Chains A and B, each alone.
Chain A
């Protein structure tokens, strides 16, 4: 890994590495789509990436499983992986960097010192707060101490994966190590949460691309999650939704309904209460997501899902519109509710689209 950023623009860097103009424009289109922007914004995103230099970034790993690192590295199309890693100048990342020990720590310290207030801090994993934070240390320093310094001096922090957003797996009851998210551990920082277990790299990249294009972070909800990625309910975008409405449910693993791809609600699917763009952006380079693979959604991007939405295979209570438990009249009401949800989703999409226009006027 280079510790010196190229002084060329993002596009120039990509072009030198053999990324074609066509692949670059495809990437810009994907980003516009992920950000819920109309295609007219594609040239603007392309222009920004043509002119802007790569921002410095430091990737911190604390109480993590490296799943969010895998999310970036496992992109199956080489050009996409290349683009993602080339949009930022990653100066420190324990799992993939060449240097170790003091050399690694120096690379991080240099960015914090020389790029103060200008670099992006990316955090993967929760921060333990119990017993003075001893449950995660790097080079003898606690995760809490490192996060305070690195996130405290960054332009902003992106929390990738549920652990750094609100504590994730280590914070599941009884939370033995007092694990919390970065936003709670370090007060006063500017941050965006990209939860998911693992997070979807397209959402993290789109957030950075939004920053490079419009000079600001995307609009977020009350959980600091970008509206473009977490404004729509999984249930409303689910490919199995028609089976829910028709009362066709999987009732046992491997039964006829399961083999036919029916609704997983009875098996504990949390889709009716989960907000995430998982059904549209998908994982594994946009090829699949859990429900498509035949497993119920476990609301991995929702706060404290392991306890608030668990157990995974327990059916959600009181979900309106489940066909088999309602009369024809009530189904009619359910359809009205779906229409209302559609209107709400449209309003959110308009709000997201509206933001950049406002900024354009500035």
Chain B
């Protein structure tokens, strides 16, 4: 029973980590994590609603 981790996953936009449980050459379970957080929703609170598109388009 082995657990493998691939981090970073490349050729995607953003930061991604995949962990997989391997048993007898087969993946029996897997986990994914986004490993970057900026808190855009928190930043949007209380702002002029007209400029929210400009912040969220930069996700």
Contact = CB atoms under 8 A, between A and B. Distances in A.
Contacts of A137: 15, 35-36
B50 A313 contact: yes
B54 interface: yes
B13 A306 contact: no
A2 to B, nearest CB: 15
Prevailing SS type, chain A contact patch:
loop
Nearest to A313: B50
A314 B36 contact: no
Given A95-B13, A313-B48, A139 B54 contact: no
B39 interface: yes
Decide if the interface of chain B is mainly helix, strand, loop or mixed: loop
A174 B43 contact: yes
Interface stretch (A62-70, A181-189, A271-279, A334-342): A62-70
B11 interface: yes
Interface in B3-55: 5-15, 35-40, 42-43, 47-48, 50-51, 54-55
A135 B37 contact: yes
Interface string A133-152: 00111111000000000000
Contact of B36 (A95, A98, A135, A306): A135
Nearest to A162: B58
Residue in B10, B14, B37, B54 whose Cβ sees the most chain A Cβ within 10 Å:
B10
Determine the interface band of chain B, counting residues with CB < 8 A from chain A. 20 to 34
A169 B59 CA distance: 9
Given A135-B36, A172-B43, A176-B39, A100 B6 contact: yes
Interface residues of A, number: 42
B13 to A, nearest CB: 4
A179 B43 contact: no
A312 B50 contact: yes
Contacts of A179: 38
Contacts of A310: 47-48, 51
Interface in A167-217: 169-170, 172-177, 179, 197
A101 interface: yes
Given A311-B48, A312-B48, A136 B35 contact: yes
Contacts of A197: 58
A4 interface: no
Contacts of B59: 65
A338 to B, nearest CB: 30
A15 B7 CA distance: 36
B47 A311 contact: yes
A104 interface: yes
B10 A169 contact: no
Of A95, A101, A105, A173, chain B has the most CB atoms within 10 Å of the CB of A101
Contacts of B40: 169-170
Interface string A85-103: 0000000001111111100
B55 A306 contact: yes
Given A96-B11, A97-B11, A172-B55, 6 more contacts: A101-B6, A105-B8, A137-B36, A138-B8, A311-B47, A313-B48
Q: Which 8 A-B pairs have the closest CB atoms?
A: A176-B39, A311-B48, A170-B38, A101-B6, A312-B51, A66-B13, A136-B36, A100-B10
